[in-house]
Amino acid sequence: MSRPKLADLVGAGPLLLDFDGPVCSIFAGYPAPRVAAELVALLDIEGVAMPQELRSEGDPLAVLRWVGEACSSDLTATVDEALCAAELHAASVAAPTPFGREVILGAAARGVPVAVVSNNSAVSIEAYLTAHDLARYVTPIIGRAYGTPQLMKPNPAPVLDAVGALGAEAASCVLVGDSLSDIEAARAAGISAIGYANKEWKVNAFTSADIVVTSMGEIAEALSPVSPVSPLSPKGD
């Protein structure tokens, strides 16, 4: 069975974007390992016994996942609140993904609804989109469910929430993500998946995606067939 064409996927129905990756690099200016270390330090203050490997964890979302599995709901909420604050600061110094802006504007010009579905906090996503004059083109914004990290992708719950908020049929939607958890969530939700392989190893890892792209410029071009965007000359923000 042949794979669908990119232009058919991104023009057929609502476009769901993961945030960290397809839209921006949220931790570019406030590195994820630093945030993770700050969350671990908070756990130390709370007197939490933790495995040694957690102390060297570089992904703050992984720290939150562990807390959600091993600690009380009150402590999980406390750590999530600290992560929300860190993400809000990170959003203010985040690096825009080349062509991420053009994808959102291209979809808007085509009348294609755009949503963001992310494991990052909604408040940080809203802050970034507002600062970059993109918020008016994106609705809904589905961020991490507060205090319940078990609902983060690959759980399909946030994807299904976005589909429901859009009033769309799952089969008409497509999710663009840069992680296996994005693709797994899309599959579990019954929607198409585009793997954004922003690292070379991901090209072969995203075998379950409908299509793999190595630049958001490919999606921007597919949304603007009359005036294609050259993947070699990003406009930026």
Q: How far is CA 230 from the centre of its chain?
A: 24
Tell me, what amino acid is at 98? P
Q: Cis peptide leading into 156, omega within 30 of 0?
A: no
Radius of gyration of the chain (CA): 18
Q: Do 69 and 182 share a domain, yes or no?
A: no
Domain count, the chain: 2
Give the CATH number for residue 115: 3.40.50.1000
Segment 196-226, tens digit of pLDDT: 999 999 999 999 999 999 999 999 999 985 5
Burial of 147 per CB tally in 10 Å (0-12, 13-18, 19+)? middle
| Statement: residue 75 has pLDDT above 60 | yes
Q: Which structural domain range is residue 81 located in?
A: 32-92
Segment 6-31, tens digit of pLDDT: 988 998 899 999 999 999 999 999 99
Share of the chain above pLDDT 90, in %: 90
Q: What are phi and psi of 113, to 5 degrees?
A: -60, 140
Kindly give the pairing relationship between strand 141-142 and strand 114-117: parallel
Q: Sorting pLDDT into bands at 50, 70 and 90, what band is 3?
A: low
Q: Do 106 and 140 share a domain, yes or no?
A: yes
Separation of alpha carbons 232 and 217, rounded Å: 8
Confirm whether 232 is domain-assigned: no
Tokens coding 191:
């929607």
Q: Angle at CA 151, nearest 5°, toward 66 and 170?
A: 150
Q: Of 11-15, 161-165, 180-184, which range is least confident?
A: 11-15
Q: Do 111 and 86 share a domain, yes or no?
A: no
User: Of 231, 227, 225, nearest to 7 (Cα)?
Assistant: 225
Tell me, what amino acid is at 62? A
Q: Do 168 and 212 share a domain, yes or no?
A: yes
DSSP type of residue 116: E
Q: What pLDDT, on a 0 to 100 scale, did the predictor assign at position 5? A: 86
| Statement: residue 236 has pLDDT above 60 | no
Give this prediction's pTM: 0.92
Q: What pLDDT, on a 0 to 100 scale, did the predictor assign at position 2? A: 54
Confirm whether 13 is domain-assigned: yes
Separation of alpha carbons 126 and 161, rounded Å: 17
Q: Do 122 and 14 share a domain, yes or no?
A: yes
Q: Do 62 and 106 share a domain, yes or no?
A: no
